[in-house]
Amino acid sequence: MNPSTALLIVDVQYGFMPGGGLPVIDGDAVVPVINRVAPLFTNAVFTQDWHPADHVSFAANHPGRQPFETIDLPYGEQVLWPTHCVQGTRDAALHDELHVPQAQLIIRKGFHRSVDSYSAFMEADRKTSTGLAAYLKARNITSVYLCGLATDYCVAWSALDARAAGFEATLIEDACRAIDLNGSLQKAWVTMADAGVGRISSSELMQP
C-alpha cells in the first residue's frame, strides 16, 4: 500500500471482546484478520477507548438507568453503556495478540468525563478535535482503511469523520464486528455509503 494510506485500527480492546465490559459478538475474530492485512500498510494508527470510572456514558453512573437506554445530553442523545474500558484496567488494554509493529500513534478517546467519543477524529460534542486529521495531513496521508470494533459505532463514526475531513475512507469488512443495537448496523452502512465510505474484504485487499 502506498505511503499516503494508513490503517486505522479502532478499539481492539479487551472491553469489546467476549467476556469484556461491552462485549461484541465474535469481537476477537478481528485480531487475526488485522494481523494479516497490517503488513500491507506503511502507516498504522490505533484508537483506544479510555474512560474515567465516572464517565457520563456508563449506565452505572445514572441511578435507575439500565445499559442500552438513551439519555439526552447537551450534545445530543447518548446511549448508556455497561461500564467498559476504564483507564488503566485490563478491559481498556489493546489486545495482546495484535501484531502491528509499524503502528505510530495511539489516539485515546472518551477521557473527558462529560463527553463520549466514538470517533477517532472528533468527540461527541462535535467540537473537540482529537488532532488525528491534522496528524494524518502532516504525514501526507490522504486515504484511511478502517478495521476494529464496533462497525456501527466507533468504526462508522471514525469513517464518517474521515470523509468529513477530506480523506478517502474504506472499511475492511471482515476485520470489523458490530454491536447492532436497534438497527444501528444497517443504519451505519446506509449513512456510510451516502458519505462515500468504501467497503472491501481482507482477501480483496491482499490480492496482488
H-run or E-run covering 56 = none
Contact 166, 144 (CB under 8 A): no
Q: Among residue numbers 104 through 143, which ones bind ligand VGL (CB under 6 A)?
A: 118
Q: Among residue numbers 108 through 167, which ones bind Zn ion (CB under 5 A)?
A: 110
Q: Among residue numbers 31 through 60, which ones bind ligand VGL (CB under 6 A)?
A: 49
Is the four-CA dihedral 162, 164, 170, 176 of positive or negative sign?
A: positive
Q: How is residue 129 annotated by DSSP?
A: B
Task: List the single partner that 150 binds among Zn ion, ligand VGL, none, CB under 5 to 8 Å by kind.
Answer: ligand VGL
End-to-end CA distance of the chain: 11
- Segment near Zn ion (CB under 5 A); pick from 43-51, 71-79, 98-106, 142-150: 43-51
Contact 6, 136 (CB under 8 A): yes
Answer for which of 5, 6, 8, 11 binds ligand VGL (CB under 6 A) is 11
147 is catalytic: no
127 is catalytic: no
Which residue is closest to Zn ion by CB? 49
- Segment near ligand VGL (CB under 6 A); pick from 58-66, 92-100, 148-156, 189-197: 148-156
Task: List the single partner that 154 binds among ligand VGL, Zn ion, none, CB under 5 to 8 Å by kind.
Answer: ligand VGL
- Where would I find the H helices in the chain? 30-37, 132-138, 156-164, 184-194, 202-206
Q: Which of 49, 85, 109, 116 is catalytic?
A: 109
> In whole angstroms, what is the distance from residue 136 CA to residue 106 CA?
13
49 touches Zn ion by CB under 5 A: yes
DSSP characters over 86-117: BTTSGGGSBPTT---TTEEEEEEE--STT---
154 touches ligand VGL by CB under 6 A: yes
Number of residues that bind ligand VGL (CB under 6 A): 9
Contacts to ligand VGL by CB under 6 A: 11, 16, 49, 81, 118, 149-150, 153-154
Residues assigned a catalytic role: 11, 109, 154
